[in-house]
Chain A
Amino acid sequence: MRNLNRRNFLKTAAIGISAGALGTSSIKASDKSLSEDRIGILVDTDVCVGCRHCEWACRTAHEFPACDLEEYSDISVFEKYRRPDNTSLTVINQFENEKNPLLPIYVKVQCMHCEKPACVSACIVGALTKLEDGSVVWDDSKCIGCRYCMVACQFQIPTYDYDKAIDPHIWKCDLCRDRRIRDKLPACVEICPNEALVFGKRSEVLSIARKRIKRKPDVYVEHIYGENEIGGTSWMYIAGKSFDKLKMPPLGKETAPGISEAIQHGIFSYFVPPVALFALLGTLMWVNKHKRGESDTEIESTDPDKEESEF
Chain B
Amino acid sequence: MKPEAVKRRFFTPGIIVLIIVALNGLVFLAVRFFSGLGAVTNLDNNTPWGLWIGVDVAAGVALAAGGFTSAALVYIFHREDFHDIARPALLTALLGYTFVAFAVFVDIGRFYYIWHPLVMWNGNSALFEVGICVMIYMTVLYIEFIPVITERFIGRVKLRGIFAAINKPLDSVLRFLDKGLSKVMFVFIISGVVLSTLHQSSLGTLMVIAGGKMHPLWQTPILPLLFLLSAIAVGLPMIIFESLLASRSFRIKPEMKILSNLGSMAAPAIGIYLAFKIGDMFVRETFKYISISDTASRFFIAELILMIIPLIMFLRKKTLSSSSSLFAASTFVIAAVLLNRINCFIEAYTPFYDPTVYNPSFGEISVTIGCMALLVVIYKAIVIIFPVISQGRTQQENLP
Contact = CB atoms under 8 A, between A and B. Distances in A.
Contacts of A292: 78-80
Interface string A251-286: 100001101110110011000001001100110110
B2 interface: yes
Interface in B1-28: 1-3
A103 interface: no
A142 B116 contact: yes
A146 B144 CA distance: 29
A124 B119 CA distance: 11
B108 A285 contact: no
A152 B210 contact: yes
Contact of B147 (A151, A152, A303): A303
A151 B209 contact: yes
Contacts of B117: 124-125, 144
B131 A263 contact: no
A256 B110 contact: no
A146 B351 contact: no
A26 interface: yes
A193 interface: no
A310 B3 CA distance: 14
A41 interface: no
Nearest to A248: B352
Contact of A288 (B78, B190, B191): B78
A260 B130 CA distance: 13
A304 B153 CA distance: 13
B131 to A, nearest CB: 6
Contacts of A121: 122, 124-125, 209
B362 interface: no
Given A148-B125, A281-B193, A303 B178 contact: yes
A17 B399 CA distance: 56
Interface in A150-183: 150-152, 154, 156, 159-165, 167-168
A29 B122 contact: yes
Contact of B45 (A150, A251, A261): A150
Contacts of A118: 209, 211
- Bin the interface of chain B by size: 35 or more
Contacts of A22: 121, 123, 132
Given A30-B124, A267-B198, A152 B209 contact: yes
A259 B187 contact: no
Interface residues of A, number: 79
B387 interface: yes
Contacts of A126: 120-122, 125
A302 B147 contact: yes
B347 interface: no
B37 A285 contact: no
**Residue among B194, B207, B352 with the most chain A CB within 10 A?**
B194
A208 interface: no
Interface in A199-248: 247
Given A144-B114, A281-B194, A301 B182 contact: yes
5 contacts: A162-B43, A260-B205, A264-B123, A285-B189, A302-B144
Interface of A: 12-13, 15, 18, 22-23, 25-30, 83, 85, 118, 120-127, 142-148, 150-152, 154, 156, 159-165, 167-168, 247, 249, 251, 256-257, 259-261, 263-264, 267-268, 274, 277-278, 281-282, 284-285, 288-289, 291-293, 298-304, 307-308, 310-311
